[in-house]
Structure 1
Amino acid sequence: MWLSGAMATPIEDYALISDLHTGALVSRSGSVDWLCLPRFDSPSVFGALLGTEEHGRWLLAPDQPGARVLRRNYLESTFILQTRWRTDSGEVLVTDFMPVKDRRASVVRRVEGLSGTVLMRQELEVRFNYGTTVPWMRREAHNGKERLLCIAGPSAMVLTGGNIPHGSDHRHTGQFPVRAGETVDLELTWYPSHRETPEEVDIDEGLARTVAYWQDWAGLCVDRKRYRQPVRRSLLVLRALTHEDTGGIVAAPTMSLPEEFGGSRNWDYRYCWLRDAALTLEAMMTHGYDDEAAHWRNWLLRAVAGDPDDLQIMYAVDGGRELPERILPQFPGYAGSLPVRLGNGAVDQYQADVVGTVMVALSRMRDRGVDEDSFSWPLQRALLGFLERHLEDPDHGIWEVRGDPQFFTHSRVMMWAAFDRAARAARQDGMDGPVELWEALRDGLRTEILDRGFDAGRNTFVQCYGTVEADASLLQLPQVGFLDYDDPRMLGTVAFLERELLNGQGLLLRYRSGTGVDGLTPGENPFLACSFWLAEQYARTGRLAEAIRLMDQLVGYANEVGLLSEEYDTVDGRMAGNYPQAFSHLALVRAADAIHSAEAEQRLRSTQPAEPMESSP
């Protein structure tokens, strides 16, 4: 792990393992540098990702000359990571995973000797509470074996398995040989310190159960031929970021990975955005995962229950509302990027698009035959009432700008979508409510948007009323049915976005930073979801070759295990932003589906007989 101020371990060098409650990032060099326990939004126990090894990590790697990684991959359709190492004296296979379905918050690291003898090194530094608390640690004998206990305040961990490391200078280190045919298992388990220390478990059984879970879940996927592997991995990522008990979907398992290296655009993404989760459900339902949609809807009902005027745009994994933003000065930041933020100040923003995104997703659930229950439709009516009361209010928009609120065109369109889906539910699905009012509000918003959000002289929609700026979020207008993909006004908007926001490598920026609208210093890398939206737009409008070319470029940015971050630095060729990012992966699924549909239509046209030519009179 490089020190802040120097280069940090590249984001793309990490792989995610998950137990559906939290997730760990394992570097290519064998170090677990990020882990929050027992939940995604719990304090970190390993925080070297945002600092140094002194902020917590668990290294397991060969300690011999010539050590190099031959291959790193997930077992097919799982989050079980396998790394094959070769040294001058032999080869080993390290398998990292978090057991699922056993209510045990742990990381398992298995070393298997493949040939010769390899000397392995282990370094363990547990740092509770975001790197600030050094635990009390002691070795003890238990059932004829040694184990290592780590305790500080309410949290405790126990390391079991062979070759327990020895302590020195606030860290535990050790070496052990692994010969061909041998297997060494290590398990680090978190538990509340007031409870009994957990007993060892059967690692073979836990591994088999975890493999079966992931592969059974992936086996339910409705696959497409093109981009099958990237789509399946993306859906697996979305599942891995969904809390098994609550149904809450986090935007990413990390915090404060910078959008611009050395900059201040560093946010905590370990929470559940209504917008991101709703879009995730649309992607998952398209591929057959209706149960996940129903699970999330139940989370939504609990999270937003109460006074509709208290609606937030994000919540904690369990639906909690208190997410105040503060600075963690103990971290030097990833690649020196400061500040490191805990919590997210956007929780207090009004973002007018959120209700519309939720209503679109719930409408999609009805279309797929998921019935409303006695609580879900009244909740939607309450959300519509909230929107009515804020009809004339500017907002902070989909990009959560920290400048003054604006009338963002995208936000107004999503308000239109909310009332459109409500009216459709009443007219088509028999839901009760003031349908005439909803239709009037919908139609009034459409007239307003076409009058104030569209620049007829340049034939383009604009970022917000009264400006001439471009915004990639405008690509969502046809996605929600505000107008057709090939509407001349939409095609004009696409041309405007291409002129204004495409960078030198063909990726689309969200908007031009530095115009003052976002209230932050200029500079950020391209947001990958925007370019996936552009590929989707191309596919829907007869530009299939361009869609495939852009899609291939974007899929190529995934690392060796198929994960994508929030943004991509095309100049230095590296990932940026929180990782892995749900928004990037759900947008990948949408773009792949659009390309699949376009190719199917193309094949259909090619098999249809040509229209007979009329004979001359």
Structure 2
Amino acid sequence: MPGRIEDYALIGDLQTAALVGTDGSIDWLCVPRFDSASVFGALLGDHENGMWRLAPTAGAGGSGGCARRAYRGDTLVLDTVWETPTGSVKVTDFMPQRDKAPDVVRIVEGLTGEVAMRSELALRFDYGSVVPWVRRTDHHRVAIAGPDSVWLRTDPPLHTYGRDMRTFSDFTVAAGDTIAFVLTWHPSHEKRPRRVDPYQALQQSLDDWEQWSAQFRYDGPWRDAVLRSLITLKALTYAPSGGIAAAATTSLPEEIGGVRNWDYRFCWLRDAALTLNALISCGFLDEARAWRDWLLRAVAGNPADLQIMYGIAGERRLPEYEVPWLSGYEGSAPVRVGNAAAGQLQLDVYGEVLDSLFLARDRGLKDEVHVWNLQRALMEFLETKWREPDEGLWEVRGPRRHFVHSKVMAWVAADRAVRTVEASPKLRGDVGRWRSMRAQVHAEVCEKGYDAERNTFTQYYGSKELDAATLLIPQVGFLPSSDRRVHGTVEAVRRELDNGGFVRRYSPDSGGVDGLPGSEGAFLACSFWLADALHGTGRTDEATELFEKLLGLRNDVGLLSEEWDPVAGRLLGNFPQAFSHIGLVNTALTLSGRQKGRC
């Protein structure tokens, strides 16, 4: 059985990522990209769906966890230490930034005494459905099925044997001994992959990450938490394109045993402004520029065809289907691959795109003529569409509605277009028409999206339900934090959407706004938004207290998923979740006085 979500740590090579459990088992790895099929899929089923456990033999058949683990310095190199009755041992896991093929390197080092170790490898291609043919060649074990091959090598060579369609290595390490394993995926029709020196690769990986982290510019009280979140965002980056995956996983549930299980291995446009803000504010201009360029390539074309999400290289087709042979995380089925929400109408993304490009220009990233032409085209389309209902920020799979957040972001689009022309006389546009649209949207939202009796903005026009996304109203500049309607909304959300001291996305009794049965946990990004809103309304002590509570939800290596179950006291949803880590960074910057929102 897989571990708890919080039991996993992330390693990656900036093109894909693996999850390593406290028991030494890699239970999730998709190759060669984040959105490829898995070769280790035990996370969404059991060990027969693929895993690689490397740990002391005494715990090889059980759930014995490590004594401690941590990332080495400001890197993505993971050290895991076991203490046994006969001695102690360390396993170092990492994925070097690749030359061509993805590699997983695991180095075993004896610390004290002698420790009996076991490597147990079960390779299962195509999301755990295909058992490969395994053969031995020149100190390698080679597994092949269809287009995939995986090569396993040890240094020094170890005796390996097969049993129950798995590959085992039993060995003993004494203090000072080191034994390295290198696992490489490679297209099966090509010649054998290049051999990797595991020890050189370790030093190079440490150097690469330390060099990158040295650009970090933040001297506030939450330095380590902020940098770890930024390292996580970097790890979720698909380096060839600059796109950032929302998470490394698919189908980790929002409710254990529930059906809200989605594939998050894609790039959402609405992450753009927050991601850019976080990266630029902390000194990472190259990543911000790459993300902006990915955004421009992805959205190029007819504005009517703008999607809310794209593949990590900008792909538009993300067909959704179920994988019935996987039982789901702790029985949470179905397991889904792809995401049908890519075809939804979500008007807020137009505001997110224009806001992110406005921010990039404001922060000094060089602009291009075609960038402004794209923004003008998006505005011309939005002018004809903003009055329509849509599926909204939370990607409802029920009827379209006039969501307040969507309208607010339409206002943001018009506002940023106007302000861009006002600040850049060389850029031309119909400012008068955009000013008129901005005023119309503002008036309509304040009339139809506001409940005067309760002094709060609602989820959609005519609704009594609440939506945590309305906490963003002051952050995007729609109303100032001092406005009584903002104060009322903050209080209403805090009171009615409370979930164990954190925040739900929307009202639990909303009748299934997403069209699906069941419930979910507290949404971590929304909880960070509440901290921002509390700070903006003058309650910085309360904001800081909430922020510290949110930091306490991170696992032992500083990672967050999408949601938190306050009853069971465990993480829920896909992991690690970029949106949660973006929220952490931006709230830390806000509370440290480093930024004042997105307006």
Which TM bucket (shorter chain)? over 0.9
Q: 2:335 aligns with which of 311, 328, 340?
A: 340
Amino acid at match of 2:214: G
Cα-to-partner distance string for 1:300-337 (whole Å, 9 max, x where unaligned): 22222222211111111111111111110010000100
Aligned twin of 1:520: 516
Q: 1:535 aligns with which of 512, 531, 534?
A: 531
- SS of corresponding position for 1:524: coil
The CA distance in 2 between the partners of 1:21 and 1:453, in whole Å, is 42
The 3 A distance-change label for structure 1 pair 44 and 278 is: farther
Q: 1:137 aligns with which of 113, 134, 138?
A: 134
Aligned twin of 1:74: 71
Aligned twin of 1:327: 322
Matches for 1:84-233 after TM superposition, within 5 Å: 84-141=81-138, 146-161=139-154, 162-163=157-158, 165-233=160-228
The CA distance in 1 between the partners of 2:346 and 2:256, in whole Å, is 27
The answer to whether the 8 A contact 1:539-1:598 is kept is: no
- SS of corresponding position for 2:244: coil
Name the stretch that deviates more: 67-76 or 327-336. 67-76
User: How many angstroms does 1:79 deviate by?
Assistant: 0.7
The answer to whether the 8 A contact 1:95-1:110 is kept is: yes
Q: 1:250 aligns with which of 245, 253, 265?
A: 245
Cα-to-partner distance string for 1:57-110 (whole Å, 9 max, x where unaligned): 111000127975221000111110000111111111100000015333010000
The 3 A distance-change label for structure 1 pair 399 and 306 is: same
The CA distance in 1 between the partners of 2:518 and 2:294, in whole Å, is 37
Aligned twin of 1:35: 29
- SS of corresponding position for 1:251: coil
The CA distance in 2 between the partners of 1:411 and 1:324, in whole Å, is 25
- SS of corresponding position for 1:121: strand
- SS of corresponding position for 1:69: coil
The answer to whether the 8 A contact 1:58-1:125 is kept is: yes
The CA distance in 2 between the partners of 1:564 and 1:232, in whole Å, is 14
State the TM-score, normalizing by the size of structure 2. Answer: 0.96
Aligned twin of 2:412: 417
Cα-to-partner distance string for 1:393-441 (whole Å, 9 max, x where unaligned): 1011111111111111111000000110011111112322111111111
The CA distance in 1 between the partners of 2:328 and 2:101, in whole Å, is 30
The CA distance in 1 between the partners of 2:219 and 2:543, in whole Å, is 16
Q: 1:549 aligns with which of 545, 552, 570?
A: 545
The answer to whether the 8 A contact 2:272-2:356 is kept is: no
User: How many angstroms does 1:357 deviate by?
Assistant: 1.1
Residue 236 of structure 2 is aligned to residue 241 of structure 1: yes
Cα-to-partner distance string for 1:462-489 (whole Å, 9 max, x where unaligned): 1110111111000111111111122111
Cα-to-partner distance string for 1:529-555 (whole Å, 9 max, x where unaligned): 111111111122221211111111110
Q: How many residues align?
A: 589
Cα-to-partner distance string for 1:557-580 (whole Å, 9 max, x where unaligned): 001100001000111111000000
Name the stretch that deviates more: 176-185 or 365-374. 365-374
Aligned twin of 1:450: 446
Residue 497 of structure 2 is aligned to residue 501 of structure 1: yes
The 3 A distance-change label for structure 1 pair 34 and 65 is: closer
Aligned twin of 1:612: none
The answer to whether the 8 A contact 2:358-2:420 is kept is: yes
User: How many angstroms does 1:354 deviate by?
Assistant: 0.7
User: How many angstroms does 1:229 deviate by?
Assistant: 1.0
The CA distance in 2 between the partners of 1:464 and 1:522, in whole Å, is 21
Runs ≥4 residues deviating over 4 A: 65-68
Percent identical among aligned pairs is 51
Amino acid at match of 2:85: D
- SS of corresponding position for 2:243: coil
The answer to whether the 8 A contact 2:24-2:55 is kept is: yes
Q: 1:44 aligns with which of 28, 38, 46?
A: 38
The CA distance in 1 between the partners of 2:104 and 2:195, in whole Å, is 12
The CA distance in 2 between the partners of 1:570 and 1:218, in whole Å, is 33
- SS of corresponding position for 2:58: coil
The answer to whether the 8 A contact 1:148-1:164 is kept is: no
The CA distance in 1 between the partners of 2:286 and 2:595, in whole Å, is 29
The 3 A distance-change label for structure 1 pair 54 and 570 is: same
Name the stretch that deviates more: 271-280 or 474-483. 271-280
Residue 463 of structure 2 is aligned to residue 467 of structure 1: yes
The 3 A distance-change label for structure 1 pair 599 and 266 is: closer
State the TM-score, normalizing by the size of structure 1. Answer: 0.93
Cα-to-partner distance string for 1:134-188 (whole Å, 9 max, x where unaligned): 11110112xxxx1111111111110011325311221111211111111100000
Matches for 1:276-355 after TM superposition, within 5 Å: 276-355=271-350
- SS of corresponding position for 2:134: strand
Which consecutive residues of structure 2, in runs of 5 or more, have no partner in the other structure? Answer: none
CA RMSD across the alignment: 1.6
The answer to whether the 8 A contact 1:31-1:60 is kept is: yes
The CA distance in 1 between the partners of 2:380 and 2:321, in whole Å, is 32
The answer to whether the 8 A contact 1:462-1:468 is kept is: yes
The CA distance in 2 between the partners of 1:482 and 1:224, in whole Å, is 30
User: How many angstroms does 1:247 deviate by?
Assistant: 0.7
Aligned twin of 1:427: 422
Which consecutive residues of structure 1, in runs of 5 or more, have no partner in the other structure? Answer: 3-7, 601-617
- SS of corresponding position for 1:72: strand
Amino acid at match of 2:142: L
The answer to whether the 8 A contact 2:258-2:518 is kept is: no
Cα-to-partner distance string for 1:188-212 (whole Å, 9 max, x where unaligned): 0011111111132222221111111
The answer to whether the 8 A contact 1:65-1:87 is kept is: no
